Chain A
Amino acid sequence: MECQDPITAGGQMGRVLVVDDVAVVRKSIRATLANAGYDVVEAENGKQAIRILQEQERAEPVPINAILSDLRMPQNNGTELVAYFRRQYPAIPVVVLTAYPDVELAVSLMRQGVMDFLVKPVLQNELLAVVKKAVEQQGRGKQQG
């Protein structure tokens, strides 16, 4: 299996921004999504994620179809980061992937518009189903817009 630079790879299914400070998590998710036909853009913290989104915003149309983000990362409050994503990029569905099974937090984030809340470790099929749903939701949003 070849892991191309996802930014330049030509994924058929859509482009997903994966935000996680743990390299092995990014690596396995990237491989899983790439195998399923997605492009993956990686960011290891919120700052990088915001920069990537700002850079890609200049392209037309906005190429990121979904954001898959961790919550707890060094130098970032993940909850604030997710709120930023929702505020600045309301058209991009956000899926939270966290190591903490916190129901209250999950409810709170869903109320803020987070599409789904996954707790690590998540199975490949479950991850792919949620990402597919997110990308499709974004596609529907664009069609309606």
Chain B
Amino acid sequence: MNAQPKSNGSNGRCTCQRGAEEALCESEERFRSVVESAIDAIVLADQEGNVISWNRAAHRLFGYTAEEVAGKPLTILMPARYREAHQRGVERMRANGGSRVIGKTLELHGLKKDETEFPLELSLGTWKTKDGTFYSGIIRDITERKQLQDRLIQAEKLASLGTLVSGMAHEINNPIQGILGMAELIVDETDPATIKEYTQDIIGYSKHIATLVHDFACYARSNAHEDEVEVDLCERLAEAVKMVRRCPHFGAVEVVTQFQPIPRLRARRVEIDQIFVNLVTNAVQAMDGRGRLEVATQSQSGTLTVRISDTGLGIPKELRRQIFDPFFTTKEPGKGTGLGLSIVYQIVNKYGGTIGLESEEGQGATFTVQFHADNRREETHDGVPGPYYGRRADGACAGSR
């Protein structure tokens, strides 16, 4: 922590002896001890955004020694794409002292001395003295957490794929039965009109299977490198209902759709699909094969709203706070991972949206997902990227959560 501005002595230790000065020194020593022994990197910066304090954990995390970073701009710790926006945020903070990110926790990427990037969680603070405004950043490496999250998401996706595959068997094997049957009949058939009729059936059902496989491939495609596109939420919601309808547990559920034309949302399609497939699956499972599934979209004052309602068992009041928690499930052991709604919550948050729940026990449940129509990836005025990168630290969630 050699870059601390008020340290006395060459080794950074306080050498004062008496009275108020002694008390101040003791306080400073305590502070130093806490900072130096912290597991998280703690970085302090002046109002210009230059490093003035750097603890051991910061050294371990970024690879720079305190001497190497002292007085250097914070931008050396971030990938180039963040730098301009960061600088604008620092200047804005200096000009009017306002910032939306102070006091919040953000997920960003850091840049090590060896130029490698890593995901980090940053808690920002600020304080003022007669010398100006100073910043504190507590930084945690979340590489492992992100990797674990990715693995769990992949596992959940595979689990939901398993359910869909079972449903696909019905959708594919039935037309194949027709195709095979018709083809075998044609072999011995001599009437040209009948041959033509069966051939047309074969063509029609082959096309039907091709469409199914295409839809399925779209869902199953790895999302790792998919770019954001303008997503039609009505289309994706209808597609999700179609996907889940193929699952064995869909049964005799009645589907009611109320789609209003709404602006497209900029997002990765597979993630929007995952939100809707998970919510629709959840609704259908709550009804145990019988009931009414209502899916609706609407747009008002720049807010895109998607509602998914069921007439199932509902969610008891005492469980409503937990339903978005990872691994929380009310299903029998082995029947559910407890990640479905957690992933929904995570993706909705990623796009700056909110998700709410209204439910009465025994009277079904309604999940309401809302996004801002203009969610395009933009840098905020605080020098950090917008909701595309940053988790909403306030965990905003409407309804009873």
Name A residues whose Cβ lies closer than 8 Å to a Cβ of B: 1, 20, 22, 24-25, 27-29, 31-32, 35, 72, 74-77, 97, 99-101, 119-124
Q: Nearest Cβ distance between residue B293 and chain A, in whole angstroms? A: 14
Say yes or no: A28 contacts B185, CB within 8 Å: yes
| B182 interfacial contact with A, CB 8 Å | yes
Interface residues on B, range: 20 to 34
Chain A contacts for B248, CB-based, 8 A? 72, 100
Name B residues whose Cβ lies closer than 8 Å to a Cβ of A: 166, 169-170, 172-182, 184-185, 188-189, 191, 194, 198, 201, 205, 248, 251-252, 289
Q: Nearest Cβ distance between residue B290 and chain A, in whole angstroms? A: 9
Picked from B174, B180, B184, B191, the residue with its CB within 8 Å of the CB of A99 is B174
Say yes or no: B184 contacts A124, CB within 8 Å: yes
Given contacts A32-B184, A123-B184, whether A27 and B178 have CB atoms under 8 Å apart is yes
- Complex Cα spacing A28 to B194, Å: 12
Having A24-B175, A32-B185, A35-B185, one finds 20 other A-B pairs with CB under 8 Å, namely A24-B205, A25-B178, A25-B181, A27-B181, A27-B201, A28-B177, A28-B178, A31-B198, A99-B170, A100-B173, A119-B173, A120-B174, A120-B176, A120-B177, A121-B173, A121-B177, A122-B177, A123-B184, A124-B180, A124-B185
> Could you list some 9 contacts between A and B, CB below 8 A?
A25-B181, A31-B181, A32-B185, A77-B289, A99-B169, A99-B172, A121-B176, A121-B179, A124-B185
Say yes or no: A100 contacts B170, CB within 8 Å: yes
- Nearest 7 A-B pairs (CB), nearest first? A28-B181, A24-B178, A99-B173, A120-B177, A120-B173, A124-B184, A22-B174
Q: Nearest Cβ distance between residue B172 and chain A, in whole angstroms? A: 8
Chain B contacts for A32, CB-based, 8 A? 181, 184-185
Say yes or no: A22 contacts B181, CB within 8 Å: no
Say yes or no: B252 contacts A74, CB within 8 Å: yes
- Complex Cα spacing A34 to B170, Å: 25
Q: Nearest Cβ distance between residue A145 and chain B, in whole angstroms? A: 34
Chain A contacts for B188, CB-based, 8 A? 35
Say yes or no: B178 contacts A22, CB within 8 Å: yes
Chain A contacts for B182, CB-based, 8 A? 24, 28, 31
Q: Nearest Cβ distance between residue A123 and chain B, in whole angstroms? A: 7
Chain B contacts for A75, CB-based, 8 A? 252
Q: Nearest Cβ distance between residue A118 and chain B, in whole angstroms? A: 10
Chain A contacts for B174, CB-based, 8 A? 20, 22, 24-25, 99, 120
Chain A contacts for B289, CB-based, 8 A? 77
Say yes or no: A31 contacts B177, CB within 8 Å: no
A73 (CB) vs chain B CBs: closest residue:
B252
Q: Nearest Cβ distance between residue A96 and chain B, in whole angstroms? A: 13
- Complex Cα spacing A123 to B179, Å: 11
Chain B contacts for A22, CB-based, 8 A? 174-175, 177-178
The interface centre, meaning the residue of A1, A20, A29 with most chain B CB atoms within 10 A of its CB, is A1
- Complex Cα spacing A97 to B170, Å: 11
- Complex Cα spacing A53 to B88, Å: 79
Given contacts A72-B170, A75-B252, A101-B169, whether A124 and B178 have CB atoms under 8 Å apart is no
Picked from A1, A20, A101, the residue with its CB within 8 Å of the CB of B194 is A1
Chain B contacts for A124, CB-based, 8 A? 180-181, 184-185
Q: Nearest Cβ distance between residue A81 and chain B, in whole angstroms? A: 13
Given contacts A22-B174, A100-B170, whether A123 and B180 have CB atoms under 8 Å apart is yes
Q: Nearest Cβ distance between residue B228 and chain A, in whole angstroms? A: 37
Q: Nearest Cβ distance between residue B197 and chain A, in whole angstroms? A: 10
Q: Nearest Cβ distance between residue A14 and chain B, in whole angstroms? A: 19
Chain B contacts for A120, CB-based, 8 A? 173-174, 176-177
A20 (CB) vs chain B CBs: closest residue:
B174
B194 (CB) vs chain A CBs: closest residue:
A1
